[in-house]
Amino acid sequence: MSPRLLGLLVAVLVFAADQASKLWILHGLVVSVGDVIPVTPFLNLVLVWNRGISYGLMQQEADLGRWGLVFLTVAAVVLLSVWLARARGRLTAASVGLVLGGAAGNLVDRVVYGAVVDFVHLHAGDLSWYVFNIADAAIVAGVIGLLWESFRPRQSGDAAKKPH
């Protein structure tokens, strides 16, 4: 499988899993905002509408802010798609696919609901992580993969390879 096809497959799988999980939370499980459903001693399900970006930063209550974030996310999806089309390595392609699928999943939420559906809450004792979704987890995993790739030593001959 070519790296580009791998990245596209990863993006589609992340997008599908993210949207399916959000539909389940909203229409299958039917959780109200603030309800806490304990799943394990360290994981709860709790519905949060995130009108900002990661970690709840830049909360946007007005339509102008919402559509501004939609525009930025569309731009990110386009740039990630170009990056994926140019990717030669499998790790790069898979990592970009993770970020692309997650960004697309959160983009759909912003357009359809006006906010991103977050519902996974990890905690341990007094330590509480922010509430997130599958798209957010995929974006983080993709960024870690890209960072890993950037710090890996290049094999001899890599610098001489030209992009297709």
* Positions marked active-site: 118, 136
Coil/strand/helix, residue 159:
coil
Q: How far apart are CA 37 and CA 40, in angstroms?
A: 9
* H-helix or E-strand spanning residue 129: strand 127-132
Gyration radius (Cα) of the chain, Å:
18
Residues in the chain: 164
Q: How far is CA 69 from the centre of its chain?
A: 15
